[in-house]
Amino acid sequence: MYKKLAEYITVGIVVLLLFFLFVTFLQVEKIDFRISYFFIFFVLLILFVKNEKTKGFLSKSFKENAGFLYLVIIIFLVFLPFPLRENPYLIHICIMIGLYSIMALGLNVYLGSFGMVNFCFGAYFGIGAYTSALLATNFHLSFWITLILAGIGGLLGGILVSLATLKNKGFYYVLVTFAFQQVFHLMVNNLEWTGGPDGVVKIPFPKIGSYSLGQPLNLFGVTLPFHANFYYLTLFLAILSILIIIRINTSKTALIWNAIRDDEIAANCHGINIFWRKVEVGAVGAFFGGMVGPLYGHYVGYISPEVFTWEVSAVLLSMIILGGINNISGVIVGVSILTILTEKFQLFSNYRTLVFGLIILFFLIFKPGGFIPERVRDYKGLIIGTKLSKEHL
């Protein structure tokens, strides 16, 4: 009883500490005393990891109370805008982390689960954003309808690319995705009804009933800037996406994808229909890309073709490689680190492509798994759909 309580408290304190550091890291503008928090944190971390007893206790309490851990994290995420309300730009950074997380999870379906490098993720993103923006400005459709339509638009784009690449793999696949990305960019940039190089402007804010997401949010007697609305919307969709991805990753579908990734011919010999699976992967990954489009467009208020280039895929690739390929928490860690670095440090953002290139190269050579490498599937107590008790294995 007391042991369980101690474990709960440990998990709570560690998560609280991490969030405290996260908020501090967001708020630090120049070198001041708050830097010392990070120093203290690292000293504590080293002390804990060196000591076998505390290390065992920590890993045990995190492993056995996963549900409680996620609950605590979600509670902290819900309350995150409160300490940041003085500076809306910091909430903006958090929103961007959410948007990039959803996209990176979508790209990870290609890269991690299926082992294909996809370079047209910017096009899926753009298809979603343009679908929603054009429908909202020309036909005054509600955001919630266009959100779903944008996801479906991205999904159709993904299916189109997959159908065009049924016979291709490896470098040929990369080339076709790159060509598709260029075609999309050039078309959007030159067609008249998409607004050409100017893009679409004056995209309306989403509305729930008569409440517009563009007005400040009153929560528990505290007034938050309007960014908080979008923060909660993004948080909700990000958690939904993570749940969907977890569901896919623990299902037979992802197992089949991984089998194709590891050995296409062997998978084919076992009766897996590779063509159909390719279309499936294309559709699932692209749906997440398309879904982020309207979130971005309606939040920023305008979209232009410059946003939807192949660099979206490049940025996402470096985030995934930094964090850990095919590991959900790894991907989110990678996204958070790189988004904060690029959004926060102006000097850094001038050289960001250079740094992304160096990061990809460094991690590929020295740490191919990223910060949090992919976990090997654990079938203890789980055999495709039926839960077995521990005694069976």
Task: Give the footprint of other proteins on this chain (CB under 8 A).
Answer: 111, 115, 117, 163-168, 170-172, 174-176, 178-180, 182-183, 186-187, 189-190, 263, 265-266, 310, 314, 317-318, 321, 351, 353-354, 356-361, 364-365, 368
Closest approach, Cβ 194 to other proteins, in A, equals 13
Closest approach, Cβ 361 to other proteins, in A, equals 4
CB of 93 or CB of 267, closer to other proteins: 267
From residue 20, give the alpha-carbon distance in Å to each of 24, 75, 344: 6, 14, 18
Closest approach, Cβ 339 to other proteins, in A, equals 18
CA terminus-to-terminus distance, the chain: 28
Q: Which residue matches tokens 């690029």? A: 342
CB of 197 or CB of 381, closer to other proteins: 197
Closest approach, Cβ 166 to other proteins, in A, equals 7
Distance CA 225, CA 86 (A): 8
CB of 64 or CB of 198, closer to other proteins: 198
Closest approach, Cβ 174 to other proteins, in A, equals 7
Distance CA 143, CA 130 (A): 13
Instruction: Assess contact for 304 and 199: CB atoms under 8 A.
Output: yes
Closest approach, Cβ 55 to other proteins, in A, equals 31
Distance CA 94, CA 235 (A): 9
Of 139, 146, 162, 180, give the one whose Cα is nearest residue 284: 162
CB of 68 or CB of 348, closer to other proteins: 348
Of 164, 167, 197, give the one whose Cα is nearest residue 180: 164
CB of 300 or CB of 355, closer to other proteins: 355
Closest approach, Cβ 258 to other proteins, in A, equals 14
- Give the Cβ contact number of residue 33 at 10 Å: 6
Instruction: Assess contact for 289 and 154: CB atoms under 8 A.
Output: yes
> CA quadruple 212, 218, 224, 228: dihedral positive or negative?
negative
CB of 248 or CB of 355, closer to other proteins: 355
CB of 31 or CB of 269, closer to other proteins: 269
3-state DSSP call for residue 12? helix
Closest approach, Cβ 172 to other proteins, in A, equals 6
Closest approach, Cβ 336 to other proteins, in A, equals 21
DSSP codes of every residue in 281-314: HHHHHHHHHHHHHHHHHHHHS-B-GGGSSTHHHH
CB of 18 or CB of 191, closer to other proteins: 191
Of 262, 257, 234, give the one whose Cα is nearest residue 332: 234
Distance CA 161, CA 181 (A): 10
Contacts of 214 (CB under 8 A, 6+ apart): 205, 226, 229
CB of 39 or CB of 171, closer to other proteins: 171
